[in-house]
Amino acid sequence: MSRHEDIAAAVCGVAPLPRDDEGPVFREPWEAQAFAMAVTLHERGVFTWAEWAAALSAEISRAQAVGDPDLGDSYYRHWLKALEQLVAEKGVSSAAALEARRQAWDRAAHATPHGQPILLENDPLAKD
């Protein structure tokens, strides 16, 4: 079984992975990157697929409890939140470090001219 088939099987009962005949489908590059991070962290033994499925399920349930209409456009946002939660729970990174990095990316995005790639180095608060 391929890596994407492993993860698709793990989340099948939780929330089916958006896919076509060739594998996972991503609407934005960051979605593919979040997917790849989950696969890599699993391969490095940070979490099992069962732990991943439980984290994703819990995140989707939380979102639905506060009114997420589940129109299919929020799947990878849930994916990313579940990934961040697991990374913090497993001690790979702290919630504070994740939030600091999120803020740095936000500042970098706002400081990047339209049409240019967003780089973390564009964060005006980045240290040289």
Within this chain, do residues 35 and 54 fall inside the same structural domain, yes or no? yes
Residues 25 and 77 placed together within one structural domain of the fold: yes
pLDDT band at residue 126 using 50, 70 and 90 as cut-offs: confident
The pLDDT assigned to 24 comes to 83
**Same domain for 78 and 111?**
no
In which band, very low, low, confident or very high, does the pLDDT at 62 lie, cut at 50, 70 and 90? Answer: very high
What residues make up the domain containing 120? 94-128
Tell me: pLDDT of 97 over 90: yes
Query: CB-based contacts of 23: which residues, under 8 Å, 6+ apart?
Result: 2, 4
**Per-residue pLDDT at 70:** 77
pLDDT higher than threshold 80 for residue 118: yes
* Whether residue 85 sits in one domain with residue 120: no
Report the number of distinct structural domains present in the chain: 2
Q: Are residues 74 and 107 in the same domain?
A: no
Q: Model confidence over 11-44: pLDDT tens digits?
A: 556 566 777 888 788 888 888 999 999 999 999 9
CB 120 within 8 A of CB 108: yes
